[in-house]
Amino acid sequence: MEITSKSYLSSLKAHGSGRGLAFHKLLKSCRKSVFLTGTLTNGESSSIQAVLWRVFPRELIDAGFTHKTTAETWASRYGVLEKVRKLDEDNKQVGITTNRRKEVIVKEKPGISPELVANHLLDKTVFMDVSDLQVPMITLEERPIVIPLDEDHADEYSKFHSAMYDTAMALQQELGSAAWSKFTPSVLNYADQPSLKTNIEFVNKEGKVLAHVTAPSFPKDYETAKERMLVELVKSRLKDKRRVIIYTHYTQEYRTNQRLQDVLAKNGVNATILDSKVSADQRFEWLEKQTELGTKVIITNQTLVEVGLDLLAFPTIIFWQMNDNINTVRQSAKRAHRLGQHRHCEVLYLVNERTQQMAQFQRLMSRRVSALLVEGAIERSDELAKYADISNAALTKDLCEMLESSEIVNAWEQAAQKDLDSNLELVSEEEFQQKITEAFARLTQETKDLCGYVEPVMVEDPQEEIGFPMEEETFGDIFECENTPVVESVSKPVVSQEKKTPSQDEVGYTDIFAYLEQVKEEEQPKTIFDVLVKKDKTSKKKGKRNDVYEGATIFDFLAL
């Protein structure tokens, strides 16, 4: 294969995934490759490591890397690592020759060194924005909405969060990272669905239950403050004739889609669920069908629509839950804000205050800023750049240690503005149609000018002079047979002012209309050159036909 083009490069970043391995095989079978993506990194340096290794292995080998290089080793050079050392204070017999047991936890944080960009990206990357097309787009608004829990809900959540954190910390030495595998989903979903039965068990490799944590369940008909806010937002958008799509994340064990569908139905809003049963190649047709059926609200996991789909019919996007992958969040948030959208777009993020959801949102904000630094949308001197290096608060016990919610919201909105090209013209719904018409008219004219295209001139009256340089001749003069002499040169027919009626032997069929009358009884001419042909007696004897107009075009006649 000569060349290949691969879109959504960010989806091929995993080292051992089947998709990544297939990409490697396809890459090696092509002489040239072009890769496309809207999210080059997720803010962490290791997110680009596998792609660079598959595409430019020689370059990385020369830099001292191999296929066995770990993400931590890579990040130690090109990223940011967080090392946490813990001392075992339970050992009471600590003496001169007795050392305390130490445990070191190494974790990569958001942040990419300029050395990575300079060494491996600058010479092979082209950053382009929609503004390069010189086409205006509709306005886009991203707005986090922080919602405090109800008092009773907040009290129970705080107890459950603390119990989960303490248990995970106590079992970390024995279970390793598995001790935290249930922490995040459990506390996130207890903030969203306290009505679910919550009994979390910590099990070792042998299947032995080491500990379990429970939390009281609220009544099934209890609607959280976040659910009430969702109903209010959806109803107000439907009142303005705006379709809504709601993004979820925990859709299997926690059945979040079904919960939201029930809550909306109780409040008079019909919603349809898009789940994984609809295959990727059928989702476009499925969405088109729902639009035709008049569906106003769709609930789906954001990973199902993050790439390859345009949600032009749903200008309002509401994130009910977030995904830890900032690429997924950025991609899915822009599904409605595409070329061709004429409705104002808004992306709303619903976050429960003083919960793990705020810690997750802060972490995503940090990764987004780091990604924008790599893409050049944010300078290191920018005030926003400080959020690229904030501490990972995913497992913090004291939620008060997080940034204030107002500061996080403000930083996210600033990052959202930076995520849009500063040269991109954003226009309101009222002026969009006029602006887009003007833009396409300008681009059409620029294209014609670059191609040297000349607009054809349509003349209805044969006696009317045409509008480009032609002394005083008209179409009538050009095709008037008695005024047209024998043309001996094929380069440019010349109109003579001398009145002469040539014989048929001299000119042949120069009178087009007379010729057409004659051929009615014979074969119809196939081209204009069969009409504009000089019958030469001499050339006939040689078995050839001398076409004096061969090679000429209609423009040669019009330019006389």
Backbone φ, ψ for residue 4 (5° rounding) = -130, 150
| 95 & 8 share domain | yes
| 266 & 381 share domain | yes
State pLDDT tens for residues 162-209: 999 999 999 988 888 888 888 999 999 999 999 999 999 999 888 899
CA 385 and chain centroid, separation: 23
Distance of alpha carbon 333 from alpha carbon 312, whole angstroms: 12
pTM to 2 decimals? 0.67
- DSSP letter for 466, please: P
Residues contacting 119, CB < 8 A, separation 6+: 63
Helix (H), strand (E), coil (C) string for 322-374: CCCCHHHHHHHHCCCCCCCCCCCEEEEEEEECCCHHHHHHHHHHHHHHHHHHH
Whether the per-residue pLDDT at 467 is higher than 80: the answer is no
| 290 & 376 share domain | yes
Would residue 443 count as lying in a domain?
no
Structure tokens at 104: 């070191």
Distance of alpha carbon 520 from alpha carbon 543, whole angstroms: 25
| 204 & 322 share domain | no
| 247 & 275 share domain | yes
Distance of alpha carbon 318 from alpha carbon 297, whole angstroms: 11
By residue range, what is the domain housing residue 376? Answer: 131-151+219-430
| 275 & 395 share domain | yes
Whether the per-residue pLDDT at 492 is higher than 90: the answer is no
Phi-psi region of 255 (alpha: psi -120 to 50; beta: other; left: phi over 0): left
Range with lowest mean pLDDT among 6-10, 330-334, 437-441 = 6-10
| 400 & 305 share domain | yes
Residues contacting 329, CB < 8 A, separation 6+: 302, 319, 322, 323, 364, 368
Would residue 465 count as lying in a domain?
no
Would residue 436 count as lying in a domain?
no
| 226 & 140 share domain | yes
| 202 & 339 share domain | no
Whether the per-residue pLDDT at 508 is higher than 60: the answer is no
Structure tokens at 32: 């040239």
Number of domains in the chain: 4
Nearest to 439, CA basis, from 336, 345, 340, 315: 340
Would residue 55 count as lying in a domain?
yes
Would residue 340 count as lying in a domain?
yes
Among 411, 430, 449, residue at a domain's last position: 430
pLDDT at 476: 54
| 421 & 520 share domain | no
Range with lowest mean pLDDT among 153-157, 230-234, 386-390, 394-398 = 394-398
pLDDT at 14: 60
| 94 & 171 share domain | no
| Single-letter residue type at 537 | K
Residues contacting 495, CB < 8 A, separation 6+: 473, 477, 478, 483, 484, 560
Would residue 358 count as lying in a domain?
yes
Would residue 449 count as lying in a domain?
no
| 305 & 289 share domain | yes
Would residue 460 count as lying in a domain?
no
Range with lowest mean pLDDT among 119-133, 325-339, 495-509 = 495-509
